[in-house]
């Protein structure tokens, strides 16, 4: 009996050893707005598979330039659809690996509770707003969506003098968070946790006011033969990952 158990145990150990040997590390370039959900997804993924995920967060444009110059990333989660597409056209990524992992939502947010009505953007017409923060529209898809929203609302000209730009959506958030800007357009994912606003007040911009912010992922050439990279991309498409992604206010 004891002998049989020992055999069983050593068998388990062997099996375990095999899976450990197959555990790989994957380097992921993640767009700044997807920071919080990706940390959670990576933790979940590591627990399930034993692979290790190394996350780097920055603006997508920076990653784009870095990837073109030999950065060691294996998976790229962009804040838009155009950069992954360009990378594929230029031969930096594995053709056919591109897919939309999340669709971003925009929110007009203030760090003050009760400052923004949750059903109307009327506060934008108020004189009490000295600075309206947004991400640089030239660089960040959320910034472009914010400008588009203001234009659809017919408020762009009126507010142009009050706009302050963050380099990316994380900085746009920082300006509002610190109170230096009373209001700002930020990613819903930055202020939403478990389906609720985590602080302040905000108006979720209706999806028909701006072009959908499709966020695409792509497998880069460097990750082509890394089983952890492909496993992570598969996991991103799975139901458990989708639940995490949705809980941060993204659509799928």
Partner 1 sequence: MFSDGNWAAILLTVKLASIVTLLLLIISTPIAWWLAHTRCRLKSFFEALVALPIVLPPSVLGFYLLLLMGPQGVVGQITQALGIGTLPFTFAGLVVASVFYSLPFVVQPIQLAFENIGENYLEAAATLRASPLDRFFSVAMPLALPGFLTGSVLGFAHTVGEFGVVLMVGGNIPGVSRVVSVQIYDYVEALEYGQAHSLALTMLLFSFVILLLLYTFNPNRRTR
Residues near partner 1 (CB under 8 A): 59, 61-62, 64-65, 130-131, 133, 136, 138-139, 163-167, 171, 174-175, 178-181
Which lies closer to partner 1 via its Cβ, residue 48 or residue 138?
138
Cα–Cα distance between 65 and 140 in angstroms, integer? 15
Minimum Å distance from CB 189 to partner 1?
21
Minimum Å distance from CB 131 to partner 1?
6
Total residues belonging to the chain = 252
Minimum Å distance from CB 67 to partner 1?
12
Minimum Å distance from CB 144 to partner 1?
11
Which lies closer to partner 1 via its Cβ, residue 164 or residue 197?
164
Q: Are strands 201-204 and 106-110 parallel, antiparallel or unpaired?
A: antiparallel
Which lies closer to partner 1 via its Cβ, residue 40 or residue 112?
112
Cα–Cα distance between 33 and 3 in angstroms, integer? 55
Which lies closer to partner 1 via its Cβ, residue 136 or residue 226?
136
Which lies closer to partner 1 via its Cβ, residue 148 or residue 167?
167
Which lies closer to partner 1 via its Cβ, residue 185 or residue 235?
185
Which lies closer to partner 1 via its Cβ, residue 62 or residue 193?
62
- Token representation of residue 10: 């050593």
Helix (H, G, I), strand (E, B) or coil at 10: helix
Minimum Å distance from CB 62 to partner 1?
6
Minimum Å distance from CB 160 to partner 1?
10
Contact status, residue 100 vs residue 214, Cβ threshold 8 Å? yes
Cα–Cα distance between 236 and 42 in angstroms, integer? 9
Minimum Å distance from CB 29 to partner 1?
15
* Nearest CA among 234, 233, 241 for reference residue 77: 233
Distance, first Cα to last Cα, the chain: 53
Contact status, residue 134 vs residue 146, Cβ threshold 8 Å? yes
Element (H, E) at 64: helix 60-68
Handedness of CA 233, 239, 244, 246 (dihedral sign): positive
Contact status, residue 179 vs residue 111, Cβ threshold 8 Å? yes
């Amino acid at each position: 009996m004891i002998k049989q158990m020992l055999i069983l145990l050593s068998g388990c150990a062997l099996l375990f050893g095999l899976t450990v040997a197959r555990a790989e590390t994957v380097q992921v370039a993640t767009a700044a707005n997807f920071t919080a959900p990706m940390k959670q997804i990576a933790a979940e993924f590591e627990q399930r598979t034993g692979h290790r995920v190394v996350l780097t967060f920055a603006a997508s444009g920076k990653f784009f330039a870095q990837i073109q110059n030999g950065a060691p990333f294996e998976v790229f989660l962009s804040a838009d659809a155009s950069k992954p597409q360009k990378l594929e056209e230029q031969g930096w990524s594995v053709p056919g690996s591109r897919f939309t992992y999340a669709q971003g939502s925009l929110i007009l947010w203030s760090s003050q509770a009760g400052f923004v009505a949750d059903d109307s953007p009327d506060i934008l017409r108020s004189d009490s707003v000295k600075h309206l923060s947004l991400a640089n529209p030239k660089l960040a898809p959320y910034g472009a969506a914010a400008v588009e929203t203001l234009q659809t609302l017919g408020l762009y000209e009126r507010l142009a003098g009050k706009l302050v730009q963050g380099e990316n959506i994380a900085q746009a958030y920082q300006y509002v968070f610190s109170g230096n800007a009373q209001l700002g357009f930020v990613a819903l994912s930055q202020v939403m946790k478990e389906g609720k606003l985590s602080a302040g007040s905000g108006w979720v911009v209706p999806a028909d006011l701006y072009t959908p912010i499709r966020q695409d992922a792509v497998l880069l050439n460097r990750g082509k033969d890394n089983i952890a990279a492909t496993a992570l991309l598969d996991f991103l498409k799975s139901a458990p990952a989708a639940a995490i992604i949705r809980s941060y206010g993204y659509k799928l």
